[in-house]
Amino acid sequence: MHCASAPTFAKSCPATPMTSSPPYNSNRPSSIFLLNPYPSQTSPILSPTSTLFSLGNTYMPIRPSSLLAQTRLCFQPLDLHTRTHWSKMAAAPPPKRPIKILMLHGYTQSGPLFQAKTGALRKTLQKAFPAGIELVYPTAPIRLTPADESWLAGTSRDAAADGSGGAENQEQELDAWAWWKRKSLGDQGGYVYDGIEGCFEALASVLRKSGPFDGVVGFSQGGAVAAMLASVLEPRRREAFEKKIESGGMPFPAAFIPTADTVSAIHPPLKFAVVYSGFLPQGASPYAAFYDPKIQTPVLHFLGSQDVVVEEKRSLALVEACEKSGERYVVYHPGGHFLPSTQKASVNALVGFIKEVLWEGEAKGEDEGVEGMDVPF
C-alpha cells in the first residue's frame, strides 16, 4: 500500500462493532472520506504517506487510533470508488469566476480576530482561486462579559462551544462575541440557545448587505451556525419547522421568512458549507428541524484528533445529520480545537472540496456567479 508520490487508499471489511459506540451509518450506504490524522506514525495498516481512506459502512471511532486498534478491521488496497473520488476532487479546476464565502467565528471570538487567525488560509485560497475569492467576516451579535468566559478558568468544556457562562455580576465588556448563549432550563432539564433568534437576524442582515455567498465556513460555535444556516436556506426547510412546532420545536427563523419587501427567498441555497469542530445540540432539542430531514447541502467536516473542547460524539452527530447523495466528508487533523490553516493536507482537502462542489455545479448547469443570482438585495 505504500506509495511515496500519491495518496494511498483502503476500504474496510465488515468490522467487529465497538460496544461502547452506537452505529454511525444507520445501515445506509455511505462513503466516509477521512484524512489520516497521524501522518508521522507508521502503521501496519496505513503507511505514513496515506492521506485518505474510506471506512464505508462501519462504526466511527472514539478516536481514529481507537478504531484501528479495537475493531479488527481488515483492509483491501485501493478502493476504486474512493480513489476515483479523490482523483476527481484533486483534478477539479478552479471556477472561472470570483467566489464569495461567509466566515463565521467561534464563541468568544470576533470577525476581525477570526480574520487575523485565518490569514495564512486566506492567502492560500487566493492562490487556489485565481479568478478571485472574497471572504466576509461578520461579528456575532452577542457581546460577552468576563462572567461568560468563566469556562476558561476550568468549568465544563461544553461551555466553550455552546456558550454557557458563569455568574452574572461581572458586566465589563470584552471584545468577545457569541452567536448564542446556552441557557439551562433548570428542573425541567435540558437547555436552550438564548439569543438564537438574534443570531439569525444578524445572519439575514449580512446576507442582504454582503451576499450572495457561494458557501459558508464556520469554526466551533460558528461551525454549528454554518450547518444551521445551510439548512435553513434549503428548499422546503420551513415546512420541516412547521411540523416540529407542536412537539416543542422552535419556529422557522422570522428573519428568513419572505415579506412584502422580499417577495422571494432571502438568499439562494448555499453551494457548500465547511464546519471546523462543529457540533449538534445535545439531547431532546427544539432545534431538530435544522437536521430532520438531513442537511442536503454538501458539508465538509474537520475534527481535531486532540480536541478536548468539543466532544467528538457531538461532532460526529452533526456529520450524521448531513448527507448529500449518500456521501459524507470528514477530515481528522492531528491537532486540537483550532482551524488548521497551515496544515497542507487539511488545506488541500478544503480547496479540493470547494473546487469539486463548484465544478459539479457548473457541469450540471446549476452554477451561477454570485453577481447573477436572483435575490432581492
DSSP state of 55: -
- Distance between CA 181 and CA 163 in Å, rounded? 4
Residues 114 and 60 in one domain: no
**Can the peptide bond before residue 212 be classed as cis, meaning omega within 30 degrees of 0?**
yes
Query: pLDDT tens digits for 324-346?
Result: 666 778 888 888 999 998 888 88
Residue 359 lies in a domain: no
Q: What is the mean pLDDT of the chain?
A: 73
Residues 6+ apart with CB under 8 A from 323: 30, 294, 295, 296
Which sign, positive or negative, has the C-alpha torsion 119, 269, 213, 267?
Answer: negative
Residues 77 and 60 in one domain: yes
Residues 50 and 130 in one domain: no
Residue 2 lies in a domain: no
- Distance between CA 333 and CA 39 in Å, rounded? 10
Query: pLDDT tens digits for 1-12?
Result: 333 333 222 222
Residue 310 lies in a domain: yes
* pLDDT of residue 98 exceeding 70: yes
If you count them, how many residues does the chain have?
377
Residues 103 and 212 in one domain: yes
* pLDDT of residue 230 exceeding 70: yes
Which sign, positive or negative, has the C-alpha torsion 303, 304, 306, 311?
Answer: negative
Query: pLDDT tens digits for 204-227?
Result: 999 999 989 999 999 999 999 999
Answer whether 361's CB lies under 8 Å from 251's CB. Answer: no
Residue 355 lies in a domain: no
Q: Percentage of residues in the chain with pLDDT exceeding 70?
A: 62
Q: Percentage of residues in the chain with pLDDT exceeding 90?
A: 45
CATH code at position 129: 3.40.50.1820
Q: What is the per-residue pLDDT for 119?
A: 95
Domain boundary among 310, 326, 342: 326
233 versus 66: the higher-pLDDT residue is 233
Q: Which of 168-172, 319-323, 339-343 has the lowest mean pLDDT?
A: 168-172
Residues 34 and 120 in one domain: no
Residues 195 and 65 in one domain: no
Q: What is the per-residue pLDDT for 60?
A: 32
Q: Grade residue 361 by pLDDT with cuts at 50, 70 and 90.
A: confident
Q: Which domain holds residue 251?
A: 98-326
The total number of structural domains in the chain stands at: 2
* pLDDT of residue 368 exceeding 70: no
Query: pLDDT tens digits for 68-88?
Result: 333 333 333 234 444 445 566
Query: What are the Cα distances from residue 174, in Å, to 26, 64, 108, 198, 213?
Result: 44, 37, 9, 19, 30
Residue 377 lies in a domain: no
Query: pLDDT tens digits for 29-52?
Result: 344 455 443 333 333 333 333 333
* pLDDT of residue 170 exceeding 70: no
Query: pLDDT tens digits for 237-276?
Result: 999 999 999 888 999 999 999 876 655 678 999 999 999 9
Q: What is the per-residue pLDDT for 335?
A: 86
Query: What are the Cα distances from residue 59, in Å, to 74, 193, 214?
Result: 13, 30, 33
Q: What is the per-residue pLDDT for 376?
A: 27
Q: What is the per-residue pLDDT for 194?
A: 94
| Cα-to-chain-centroid distance, residue 273 | 6
Phi, psi of 350 (to 5 degrees): -60, -50
Residues 6+ apart with CB under 8 A from 75: 1, 10, 11, 12, 13, 45, 53
Residue 79 lies in a domain: yes
Residue 227 lies in a domain: yes
Answer whether 310's CB lies under 8 Å from 222's CB. Answer: no
For residues 145-157, give the mean pLDDT.
57
As annotated, the active-site residues are 220, 307, 337
- Distance between CA 23 and CA 32 in Å, rounded? 14
Phi, psi of 45 (to 5 degrees): -100, -45
Residues 219 and 159 in one domain: yes
Domain boundary among 326, 349, 372: 326
For residues 171-194, give the mean pLDDT.
82
First-last CA distance in the chain: 53
Q: What is the per-residue pLDDT for 301?
A: 92
Query: pLDDT tens digits for 100-115?
Result: 999 999 999 999 999 9
| Cα-to-chain-centroid distance, residue 334 | 17
Residue 331 lies in a domain: no
* pLDDT of residue 142 exceeding 80: yes
Q: What angle do CA 272, 277, 282 make, to 5 degrees?
A: 100
- Distance between CA 246 and CA 167 in Å, rounded? 34
pTM (predicted TM-score): 0.75
* pLDDT of residue 168 exceeding 50: no
Residues 119 and 151 in one domain: yes
Residues 265-292 as b/e (b if ≥16 CB within 10 A, e otherwise) read bbbbebbbbbbbbbbbbeeebbbbbbbe
Residues 233 and 115 in one domain: yes
Residues 59 and 158 in one domain: no
Residues 6+ apart with CB under 8 A from 4: 49
- Distance between CA 287 and CA 265 in Å, rounded? 21
DSSP state of 292: S
Residues 146 and 279 in one domain: yes
Residues 108 and 172 in one domain: yes
Q: What is the per-residue pLDDT for 161?
A: 56
